[in-house]
Structure 1
Amino acid sequence: MLPLLSLLALSAVVTSVPSALALVSSGPRDVESLFRRQTAIPEVGSAEWVALYPAAGSTPTTVPQAWTDALAAAVAAGKIPDLPPATLTQGYPSYSNNLDPAGPVACHNTRGCSIASDKLVAPDGMIGISQDDGPLPPGRTLNSFFEAQKINATHFYIGGNVLGNYDIFLQARAIPGQHFAVHTWTHPYMSSLSNEGVVAELGWTMQILADSNYGKIPAHWRPPFGDVDNRVRAIAKEVFGLQTIIWGVERDSEDWTLTNLDNEEAVKATITGFLEGPKAPGMIMLQHELSDRAVNAFITLWPSYLSNGWDCRTIVRQNTSPFSLCFPS
């Protein structure tokens, strides 16, 4: 094993997981074994728990041997495209072999290419309630609002932020109906990383979420900046069983701009336009808990979700029976 882990055995913890919420990856049959520890998980937030993971904000450089072996097996089976890492210029990719980023071989999302398994939209009439980049301090207010309004949401969490803001994670975990998904460990441009770098960013985030959420292994991930190509998609799916979740074309709320700009009214106008627009197909919108302004925009506009009659669900519940509805109780 490469340092830090002896991989997860959660038998004592998993027995306490409510079956209705046991959301385990539907990917490789043995994905659970990649995150199984041989000893009990320390208390979330303890020094012993912190010591299990890479430092918050630092690029992971070591991984368990089991993850390396799973990657090697997927490569040997021809399941991982032989693509070089992309070079990003102002967020847009190019490849050293002059491969077309928008073509079917690379199929880079930022160049408008997606594949059938990517999730960009919801079923007609539905909207996926999701927030990126947490847990962060503005998430305390957001979580309290979710709890008060009985809103079920998908949290695309950054692994290093879970480590650094574990109290906010625990607040979200205590709220019924919350769904936790992967947003990498450090929020990098994933297509620029080596295969091993992709595995580290995804794997460590899955590990800390599984360890800290009663053994529930995430089944979904969202690429930072929407930066994903066929190589990265394949590693996520074939090594870790993760489905790639992006957002609809022209469904970026741009609330991330509120971190540095005082343009909350413009962001609200953008979101209002989405909510008042067509419901076919349904909507997955890009939103964040990056700033108090971004959280306030969501809270202020929540009545518009209700008045426009959207069926609001977490990402994972969109193909099942209603889990939460955008109608006043």
Structure 2
Amino acid sequence: MPLESIVPASQVSSQPSVPLPSTAAGAKPSGLPNAPAIPSLSSWNPSKYPTSDKPPPTNSPEVVEWIDQVRNSGVVIPNIAPFAAGDGMCAIPANAGRVGNATECWWTCGHCERKTDIVNCKQRMTWGSSFDDGPAPDTPRLLQYLEREKLKTTFFVVGSRVKDRPNMVQTAYALGHTVGVHTWSHTSLTTQTTEAIIAELGWSKQIVKDATGVTPYYFRPPYGDIDDRVRAIAYAMDLVPVIWTVAGGQSYDTFDWEVPGGMKTAVDSVNQFLTILSHASALPTGFIVLEHDLWWEQVELAVGYFLPSARAEKFTVTSINACNNQPLAGMYVETAGATRSCLRAPAMDRT
């Protein structure tokens, strides 16, 4: 499709853009022979989960249990106050004085990273591919392209969107893609109470397990919004933060999230991606890019431009765990075994 034709749609269908590959209940996913059988979705009941795209309540029996588990985990949660929410978070007076505070390590304003954050790939000229915010109507089209091109990626799914499309996340998992969580309601985690963060992450883990049979270790904070309190909570809940690369002043953000709303054009986004590729070719490591599969424009950019461009420039495209030499089995509680090798305590790193 010509770039000029990728413009915000006036209407978005709720139906998949292409048929999903069939997923047989009871089968084993590709590449995971030790995984539990894929569950049947015939009795899937969306009403058992919290409201879609809304922060979950913190007083439900499930969340109360998860709060107790975090409290009894032995992980010390730093006493870091929530940041003020709103547009332009870095400039909000209540937040401005905390930007650059090394004891809080707030990624959103200053890109502070800990060694526990996954932000790049081991090998240079390697792109750890990922897509956020789905599953959505055009996720099947992305899956179809990836299957045809024999590529694997990482899906960071929003829990409440899994509620409405469990078959899509189940199919992605069955095809051997890596599935991680992206909270329940896509909220800025550093603005939330500790209990609210636990609810966001807990329900996301639970619904992915219900749809696939496995519990993810990977999670990506919406907007990359993380600090040391969120890191500690995540670790207490057996979750590993995955962000995206920032190097040499360049954030590896395609800005595809601004195209559906008309804030940027498809041409702007492709030019940004080409700048990323040019910059990445000089890195001593591989890289991770921020992309999405929530809107058709984003999927069209991915399958029509981003992925073909990277491959044409001889970049290796793979999942984030693969580009960090982490086996697919290590990405889920049920298949990783007792080692939990992908987890590292935040207390191991304060630099």
**TM-score under structure 2 length normalisation:** 0.75
Compute the displacement of 1:213 (Å): 1.1
Query: Is residue 39–residue 212 contact of structure 2 (8 Å, CA) maintained in 1?
Result: no
Q: 1:111 is matched with which residue?
A: 109
Query: Is residue 23–residue 219 contact of structure 1 (8 Å, CA) maintained in 2?
Result: no
Compute the displacement of 1:322 (Å): 9.6
Q: Give the paired residue count.
A: 289
Percent of aligned pairs with the same amino acid: 29
Q: 2:301 is matched with which residue?
A: 297
Q: 2:71 is matched with which residue?
A: 72
Query: Is residue 130–residue 286 contact of structure 1 (8 Å, CA) maintained in 2?
Result: yes
Compute the displacement of 1:66 (Å): 3.1
Q: 2:32 is matched with which residue?
A: 21
Compute the displacement of 1:19 (Å): 9.3
Query: Is residue 45–residue 166 contact of structure 1 (8 Å, CA) maintained in 2?
Result: no
- Match of 1:185, SS? coil
Q: 2:176 is matched with which residue?
A: 177
Query: Is residue 122–residue 284 contact of structure 1 (8 Å, CA) maintained in 2?
Result: yes
Q: 2:132 is matched with which residue?
A: 132
User: Gaps (5+ residues) in structure 2?
Assistant: 1-24, 329-351
Q: 2:8 is matched with which residue?
A: none
Q: 2:333 is matched with which residue?
A: none
Compute the displacement of 1:165 (Å): 2.1
- Match of 1:68, SS? helix
**1:36-115 pair list within 5 angstroms:** 43-44=40-41, 46-47=43-44, 49-61=45-57, 62-64=60-62, 65-74=64-73, 77=74, 79-92=76-89, 100-112=98-110, 113-115=112-114
Q: 1:306 is matched with which residue?
A: 311
- Match of 2:185, SS? coil
Matched, 1:255 2:256: yes
Of 215, 218, 239, the residue aligned with 1:217 is: 215
Q: 1:18 to 1:295 in 2, by over 3 A?
A: closer
Compute the displacement of 1:102 (Å): 2.0
* 2: CA distance, partners of 1:223 / 1:23: 29
CA deviations 1:90-117 (Å, max 9, x no partner) are 2425696996232122110012211111
* 2: CA distance, partners of 1:222 / 1:321: 17
Matching residue's letter, 1:54: P
Q: 1:23 to 1:230 in 2, by over 3 A?
A: farther
Q: 1:85 to 1:318 in 2, by over 3 A?
A: same
Matched, 1:277 2:279: yes
